[in-house]
Amino acid sequence: MEVLAILIPVSLFLGFMGLAAFIWSLRKGQYDDPAGDSQRILDPRYDDKPKPVEDDQRG
Amino acid sequence: MSTATIRPSACPACDAAPAAEALATRAALPDAKILVSVPAVHCAGCISTIERDLAQMEGINSARLNLTLKRLSVDAKAGIEARDVIARLDRLGYEAHELDAGTLSMTETERQGRELLMMVGVSGFAMMNIMLLSVAVWSGAEGATRDLFHLISGLIAVPTVAFAGRPFFRNAWKALRAGRMDMDGPISIAILLTLFISTYETLQSGEHAYFEAVVMLIFFLLVGRYLEFRARSVARSAAQELAALEVPRATRLVGGVESVVSVADLVVGDIVLVRPGGRVPVDGVVTQGQSELDRALLTGETLPVFAGSGTQVSAGEVNLTGPLQVRVTAAGKDSSLHRMADLVANAESAKMRYTTIAEKAAAAYAPTIPILSLGAFFVWFWISGGDLRLSLNIAVAALIITCPCALGLAVPAVVTASSGKLFRKGLLIKDGTALERLAEVDTVVFDKTGTLTMGTPEPTNLDEHSVDDLRVAMGLAEASSHPLAQALAKALRGQDVRPARIAGLAEVPGYGVEGEWQGQRVRLGRADWVGAEAGAMTAAYLAIGDQAQGFTFADQLRPGAEAVVRGLQAQGKDVWLISGDVPAVVGDLAQRLGIAHWQASALPADKAAKIDALHAQGHRVLMVGDGLNDTAALSTAHVSISPASALDAARAASDMVLLSSDLSPVADAVRLSKTAMQRIRENLWQSGIYNIIFVPIALFGFATPLWAAAVMSISSISVTLNALRLK
């Protein structure tokens, strides 16, 4: 059962990683326009290079 | 609204990001953030067409289209106005409306939404992690391992409840202080008591701990709350959003010098100049000038009325042909526009607060939860001969199982699914209870001008005139800005008629246009002015020499008008047409659309009275209207819809706004609302049945944390799936 001493912290750490990723994506406004984001992948404008950063990312 | 105040609050993370500096320097420029609603966008093509085109437009920094909200936000340099963007979109073929840039409150709701979503996320992650540990316990972990797992679960659950349970505690406390009992009371008791007992059991090396059930309950309830919040915030922003740009300004004349002042600053006796095309800002009397006034928005009349010296004018009328000087007789609060608003306020306050089906269910359900669990506690305390721990455990199990997880989702899930469907069809629900009220409707009342018709006239008898007459008429019509003349010119241009060359063209404000053609005086205008007999229909008259003839006009039908009337009649609804226009025109339209009941020359108060009378007969009325004269009727009706082209007063008074210019979604909405209510009822029954099955199990003391978790997730998922079944 000693393996629990490693597994539990690891699972908790992974859980927190997921939570942190969620919070980050929420703050970045990634849930503001779900319908638009699903359509934007079809847009060839930024296929070669990403959209310039200073452009407003929020809708 | 400067960009500097919006950005940092909307995006807290940006403050720390390197991009913040770039934002700060850019915000120093006097840029403008323009918000435009573009109801017709639906695909990737729309996004790239619009964004690409606007990127090339002079003075635009960036443009981004939000497809979910069908809203375009444009970051523009000073000098660019919403008008320019709307014109540009119009050229691309997209209809657009300016949105109120009262962005501050919008970021406030945005912030609330994010906070709720954050709570959903945190409780979701906590739930998953606790569940990992719980599965181990359920599959047979014992002794020290079980205690350790319970302890870790508790360490995750307690902070999660403290963070994500706040909305429930806050509402319960608010209700408690007001001496009420709502759903959040029992929920809060269940959460806190279960958490407390589970912690105690864990410390006592007990067998059962309900940590995962508590967090799961919070998670599902929060999902329901978030869906509800989304529906409401869309509604709220719709109300603010569609506020048209109607600047309450007037041009005041003092000793012949013009100055632009706020309407609020005008006093009785001031002289105000109203230019052609402008809206009359106050009630008053014309002192100088002649023109025609379009009263459609106030009274529903399509025919413009003559205005000369001494004519009484009311705020809200549109001046058509010549400049008018108006002496103010009533401004601000005393004006007829305000009296209309008072009529609306009265209707609103007379209206009974609508109790939704969710509230009814909650009212029936809320007391049963604590009563059941309290009963279980006392019965088991008596049976077991005073075993406090056992009775508390059973009481808690009953409490957590009866807690209305699915009930919290049953209504919001359906409302979200159906309002999303309606939004895609171009109908925006402004009021949360509107869908439910719409399902009860059995009578539909339409306004005429601007609702069933576009409010733009079209000539109807062009083929009765000779080519020469048409050419002369066109030559004259092109020189005028009167709506009938413009409609005539437009229709003739469509038929490839070439205008006759007319010398000495002159517009006589309030009467028409005159000129000279082949040595004869030609006139286009009012009947008495050209020397013709005035008919009942909307018409403009052409005189060549002494020969006079009439061009009659009919209002163009709004697309989908026929379909919506037929659709509603097919659903067994009574359709009424009530208009302020003259009987001949209203009767004609009613016949064209196959509407049996109609009423003409109705004053605003008449419309509201008619709806009251229908209500008194036990009917539930849906009112569809757009004018100021409809606002009282819109707020009197059981539920109301107005097109986006309506005045803001009308939109504010109505429960739903039709974004597309097509009327047919109205019939769909009525049908969909019925199905939605069906689903809501099914969902309520479903969640009730789960409880009926599992409450006895809990009361007999057989319930385990595994049961609680299973019941909760199965019932929540099944009501959600049922909601998604909505077609």
Instruction: Check CB contact under 8 Å for A35 and B75.
Output: no
| Residue of B68, B152, B215 to mutate when probing chain A, most A C-beta within 10 A | B68
d(Cα B538, Cα B679) in Å, to the nearest integer?
48
Predicted ipTM of the assembly:
0.80
How far is B298 from B119, CA to CA, in rounded Å?
A: 48
Matching CATH topology for B249-334 and B455-557? no
In this prediction, residue B227 carries a pLDDT of 84
Question: β-pairing, B312-313 with B305-307?
Answer: unpaired
Contacts of A55 in chain B (CB under 8 A): 62, 64
Distance (Å, whole) CA B362 – CA B178 = 17
Q: How far is B704 from chain A (nearest CA, A)?
A: 24
Least CB–CB distance from B44: residue in A15, A26, A40: A40
| Contact call for B67 and A39, based on CB within 8 A | yes
Contact list in B for residue A58 (CB cut-off 8 A) is 10-11, 64, 73
* pLDDT of B661 over the 60 cut: yes
Q: What's the gap between Cα B170 and its chain centre?
A: 28
Q: Which residues of B85-115 are buried (b: 16+ CB within 10 A; e: fewer)?
A: bbebbeeeebbbbbbbbebeebeebbeebbe
Residues of B in contact with A4 (CB under 8 A): 145, 148
Please give the Cα distance from B694 to B227 (Å, whole number). 27
pLDDT confidence tier of residue B10, bands split at 50, 70 and 90: very low
Distance from CA of A51 to the nearest CA of B (A): 12
Q: What residue type is B473 in one-letter code?
A: A
Among candidates B272, B264, B281, which has minimal Cα distance to B315? B281
B73: nearest CB among A1, A53, A59: A59
pLDDT higher than threshold 90 for residue B60: no
Nearest residue to B289 via CA among B302, B300, B275: B275
**CB-CB under 8 Å, B122 with A19:** yes
Give just the sign of the alpha carbon dihedral B367, B368, B371, B374. Answer: negative
Inter-CA distances, B650 with B100, B288, B296, B317, B333, Å: 16, 32, 13, 15, 18
- pLDDT greater at residue B90 or residue B334: B90
pLDDT digits (tens, 9 = 90+) for B508-528: 777 888 888 888 888 888 887
Q: Which of residues 10-49 of A touch B (CB under 8 A)?
A: 11-12, 15, 18-19, 22-24, 26-29, 31-36, 39-45
DSSP state, residue B8? H
Let me know if domain B455-557 sits in CATH 3.40.50.10320: no
Q: Does A52 touch chain B (CB under 8 A)?
A: no
Number of DSSP helices (H) and strands (E) in chain A, helices first = 2, 0
Q: Closest approach of chain A CAs to the CA of B119, in angstroms?
A: 10
Beta carbons of B67 and A29 less than 8 Å apart: no
3-state secondary structure B539-599: EEEEEECCEEEEEEEEEEECCCHHHHHHHHHHCCCEEEEECCCCHHHHHHHHHHHCCCEEE
Q: Would you call A54 and B10 a contact, using CB atoms and an 8 Å cutoff?
A: no
Interchain contact, A26 vs B47, CB within 8 Å = no
Contacting residues of B for A35, CB less than 8 Å apart: 67-68
Least confident of A48-52, B258-262, B596-600, B649-653: B649-653
- The answer to which of B157-161, B196-200, B660-664 has the lowest mean pLDDT is B660-664
How many beta-carbon pairs under 8 angstroms link A with B? 85
pLDDT category of residue B642 using cuts at 50, 70 and 90: confident
What pLDDT shows up at residue B12?
37
| Cβ <8 Å between B13 and A32 | no
Contact across the interface for B125 and A22, Cβ inside 8 Å: yes
Which chain B residues touch A41 with a CB distance below 8 Å?
44
Residue B244 zone, left/alpha/beta (φ > 0; ψ -120 to 50; rest): beta
User: From the list A1, A8, A26, which residue is nearest B121 (CB)?
Assistant: A26
Query: What pLDDT is recorded for position B342?
Result: 62
Q: What is the distance between the alpha carbons of residues B154 and B133, in angstroms, rounded to a whole number?
A: 11
Between B460 and B22, whose confidence is greater? Answer: B460
* Residue-wise DSSP of B39-100: TT--SHHHHHHHHHHHHTSTTEEEEEEETTTTEEEEEE-TT--HHHHHHHHHHHT---EE--
Burial of B379 (0-12, 13-18, 19+ CB in 10 A): middle
Whether B11 has a pLDDT exceeding 70, the answer reads no
Q: What percent of chain B has pLDDT over 90?
A: 9
pLDDT average, residue stretch B719-723: 87
Extract the tokens encoding B429: 């629900």
**Residue A3 contacts B where some CB pair is shorter than 8 Å:** no
Which fold would CATH assign to domain B3-107?
Alpha-Beta Plaits (3.30.70)
Which range (A6-10, B29-33, B160-164, B422-426) has the least confidence?
A: B29-33
Give me chain B's average pLDDT, please.
79
Residues of A in contact with B44 (CB under 8 A): 39-43
Which of B39-53, B200-214, B392-406 holds the top average pLDDT?
A: B200-214
Residue B103 has pLDDT above 50, yes or no: no
Fold of B249-334: 2.70.150
> Measured between CB atoms, which of A27, A34, A54 is closest to B13?
A27
User: Closest Cα of chain A to B392: distance in Å?
Assistant: 31
For A56, the closest of B69, B75, B152 (CB atoms) is: B75
Res B150 pLDDT > 70: yes
> Which chain B residue has its CA at the smallest distance from A30's CA?
B114
What confidence score (pLDDT) does residue B215 get?
Answer: 92
Kindly provide the b/e burial profile for residues B334-365, where b requires at least 16 CB atoms within 10 angstroms of the residue's own CB. Answer: ebbbeebbebbeebeeeeeeeebbbeebbeeb
Asked if B66 lies within 8 A of A18 by C-beta distance, the reply is no
Among A1, A8, A17, A39, the strongest candidate for a mutation testing the B interface, having the largest count of B CBs within 10 A, is A39
What are the chain B neighbours of A29 within 8 Å (beta carbons)?
Answer: 10-11
Mutation pick from A30, A56, A57, A58 vs chain B, by most beta carbons of B within 10 Å, is A56
Do B661 and B645 contact (CB within 8 A), yes or no? yes
pLDDT value at B217 more than 80: yes
- Is the pLDDT at B50 greater than 50? The verdict is yes
Contact by Cβ (8 Å): B160, B122: yes
Q: Name which of A19, A28, A39 is nearest B125 (Cβ-Cβ).
A: A19
**pLDDT exceeds 50 at position B365:** yes
Extents of the domains making up chain B = 3-107, 249-334, 455-557
Q: What is residue B351's predicted lDDT score, i.e. its pLDDT?
A: 54
Are the Cβ atoms of B13 and A36 closer than 8 angstroms? no
Mean pLDDT of B540-569: 85
| Cβ atoms B591, B639 nearer than 8 A | no
Considering the candidates B184, B294, B431, B447, report the single residue annotated as catalytic: B447
CA A50 to chain B, closest CA, distance in angstroms equals 15
Measured distance between the N- and C-terminal CA atoms of chain B, rounded to whole angstroms: 41
Q: How large is the average pLDDT for residues A25-48?
A: 82
Q: Is B447 a catalytic residue?
A: yes
Closest chain A residue to B144, measured at CA? A1
Contact call for A39 and B117, based on CB within 8 A: no
Tokens representing B96 are 């657009």
pLDDT in tens, B295-322: 776 666 666 778 888 888 877 777 877 7
pLDDT of B219-238, one tens digit each? 988 988 888 887 766 655 55
Interface of B with A (CB under 8 A): 10-13, 19, 22-23, 26, 43-44, 47-48, 51-52, 62, 64-69, 71, 73, 75, 114, 117-118, 121-122, 125, 128-129, 132, 145, 148, 152
pLDDT at B22 over 60: no
Q: What is the pLDDT of residue B9?
A: 35
> What is the pLDDT confidence band of residue A53, given thresholds at 50, 70 and 90?
low
Q: Where are the beta strands (DSSP E) in B331-434?
A: 427-429
Residue B491 has pLDDT above 80, yes or no: yes
Q: What pLDDT sits at residue B445? A: 92
Nearest to A39 among B10, B23, B43 (CB): B43
What average pLDDT does range B576-599 have in this prediction?
86
To probe the interface with A, which of B64, B142, B149, B227 has the most A CB atoms within 10 Å? B64
Per-residue pLDDT reduced to its tens digit, B185-198: 888 888 998 899 99
CA A39 to chain B, closest CA, distance in angstroms equals 5
Q: Which two tokens stand for residue B498?
A: 């070439």
Do residues B39 and B660 lie in contact, with contact meaning Cβ atoms separated by under 8 Å? yes
Measured CA to CA, the distance from residue B269 to residue B625 in angstroms comes to 34
